[in-house]
């Protein structure tokens, strides 16, 4: 056995990516498998963005850029923050990274000293606790319930705060629940953050995928909270650009500087060609986003209605993102297709093995008793997956 450092040894793999790669390898073997694993838009990157990247290559924009991103992209991000969020930032507030995942790692590296606590409401996106651990911080999980729409109460938040609390993570719309905080709820969170002088890491990557009221950025609620907020966003979900790997942060300039310094040693600049493409995406037309949002909404409505009509499972109507958390608690203790179901992992394994449908167990999201379905896939797949669910549960 090789020596593995304690920190690396304590990190669990990303369950979303693990399910996705299992699904892809089953598919490559020719198996008739349907995937609801990774949250990745099934639409192609819009043509005008691809053309901008091809032009960048032909024009020789193929060299290193400043570690924290090009001035052109930082300016485009500032224009986006003003246009969509009414926020005025300067290029010195922006750091561009290799995806919002990388941005988040930089954030925790920049703000956590060893032992500093970061409050993470559960269900959470799988990577947050592991990222905090990588930065020698301590994830403090704030449990929420389905009855409360997967939202925590202000009393619970205040009770979780200790002298070691450095930050709270909010993700609205949420992966995996699709929950969206209202402006009033954000104002309350902001006042607690300001009172206790803690950072708010606001992951806004699904901001354009909301099917009712538009999500609000907590940073827009006043100067004090804006100074404490580190906005995380990227082009992966909005522009169907998951493989291009461009994410960014907006924060106070000194935090941006610290993140940029970390990044300058870890990865240098994000891909130069992808940065040119991201400028084109951010400054470009919004019609393709509207088209994707409308398709996601139709799929969400179908999935939720069907799921709630199937005996033994249920789900809430998510307000945004492209995930549904299916409650499977009633199935616990049952044997389905010869498999005993005691946990969300048991369900996900049996469902994949016997019905050839890939979903992500709730365990990785701090949500035992649930599995996550992504509806960023075709209506045909969604119908097939739910037909298979119905058949599987009838066994
Ligand atoms: N935040 C959340 C909540 C996500 O679901 C994702 C999905 N990958 C990310 C951040 C990171 O996205 P990316 O690294 O592709 O920009
Ligand atoms: N964020 C997406 C998901 O939750 C993509 C996979 C990942 O980066 O974890 O499925």
37-78: per-residue pLDDT in tens? 989 999 999 999 999 999 999 999 999 999 999 999 999 999
Kindly tell me the sign of the dihedral angle through the C-alpha atoms of 137, 218, 316, 210: negative
What residues flank ligand 1, with Cβ below 6 Å? Answer: 39, 99-101, 125, 171, 175, 203, 205, 234, 236, 242, 247
Q: What is the DSSP string of 155-189?
A: HHHHHH--TTEEEEEEESS-TTT-----HHHHHHH
pLDDT at 17 over 90: no
Substitution candidate for ligand 1 out of 77, 100, 124 with most atoms within 8 A of CB: 100
Residue 235 Cα: closest atom of ligand 1: 16
Predicted TM-score of the model (pTM)? 0.97
Q: How far apart are CA 140 and CA 47, in angstroms?
A: 43
The pLDDT value recorded for residue 261 is 98
Which H or E element spans position 200?
strand 199-203
- For residue 129, the CA-to-ligand 2 centroid distance in Å is 14
pLDDT digits (tens, 9 = 90+) for 117-145: 999 999 999 999 999 999 999 999 999 99
- For residue 205, the CA-to-ligand 1 centroid distance in Å is 7
For residue 193 the two structure tokens come to 């953050």
- For residue 381, the CA-to-ligand 1 centroid distance in Å is 23
Kindly tell me the sign of the dihedral angle through the C-alpha atoms of 216, 294, 126, 282: negative
The pLDDT value recorded for residue 18 is 85
Residue with CA nearest ligand 2 atom 9:
16
pLDDT at 19 over 90: no
pLDDT digits (tens, 9 = 90+) for 184-221: 999 999 999 999 999 999 999 999 999 998 999 999 99
């Amino acid at each position: 056995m090789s020596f593995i450092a304690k920190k690396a040894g304590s990190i669990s793999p990303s369950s979303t990516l693990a399910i996705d790669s299992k699904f892809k390898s089953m598919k490559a073997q020719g198996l008739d498998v349907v995937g609801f694993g990774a949250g990745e838009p099934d639409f192609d990157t819009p043509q005008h963005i691809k053309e901008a990247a091809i032009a960048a290559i032909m024009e020789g924009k193929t060299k290193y850029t400043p570690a924290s991103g090009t001035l052109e992209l930082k300016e485009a991000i500032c224009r986006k923050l003003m246009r969509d969020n009414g926020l005025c930032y300067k290029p010195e507030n922006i750091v561009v990274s290799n995806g919002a995942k990388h941005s988040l790692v930089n954030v925790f590296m920049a703000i956590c000293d060893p032992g500093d606590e970061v409050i993470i409401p559960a269900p959470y996106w799988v990577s947050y606790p592991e990222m905090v651990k990588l930065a020698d911080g301590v994830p403090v999980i704030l449990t929420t319930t389905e009855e409360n729409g997967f939202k925590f109460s202000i009393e619970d938040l205040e009770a979780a705060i200790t002298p070691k609390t450095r930050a709270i993570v909010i993700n609205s719309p949420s992966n995996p629940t699709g929950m969206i905080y209202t402006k009033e709820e954000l104002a309350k969170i902001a006042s607690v953050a300001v009172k206790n002088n803690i950072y708010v890491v606001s992951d806004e990557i699904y901001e354009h995928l909301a099917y009712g009221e538009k999500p609000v950025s907590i940073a827009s609620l006043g100067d004090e909270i804006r100074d404490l907020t580190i906005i995380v966003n990227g082009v992966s979900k909005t522009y169907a650009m998951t493989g291009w790997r461009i994410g960014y942060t907006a924060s106070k300039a000194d935090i941006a500087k610290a993140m940029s310094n970390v990044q300058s040693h870890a990865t240098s600049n994000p891909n130069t060609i992808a940065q040119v493409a991201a400028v084109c995406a951010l400054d470009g037309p919004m019609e393709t986003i509207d088209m994707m949002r409308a398709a996601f909404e139709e799929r969400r409505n179908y999935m939720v209605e069907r799921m709630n009509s199937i005996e033994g499972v249920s789900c809430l109507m998510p307000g945004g993102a492209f995930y549904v958390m299916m409650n499977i608690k009633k199935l616990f203790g049952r044997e389905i297709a010869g498999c005993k179901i005691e946990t969300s992992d048991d369900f996900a394994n049996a469902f994949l093995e016997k019905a050839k449908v890939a979903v992500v167990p709730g365990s990785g999201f701090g949500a035992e008793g649930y599995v996550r379905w992504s509806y960023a896939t075709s209506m045909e797949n969604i119908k097939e997956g739910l037909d298979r669910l119905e058949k599987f549960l009838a066994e």
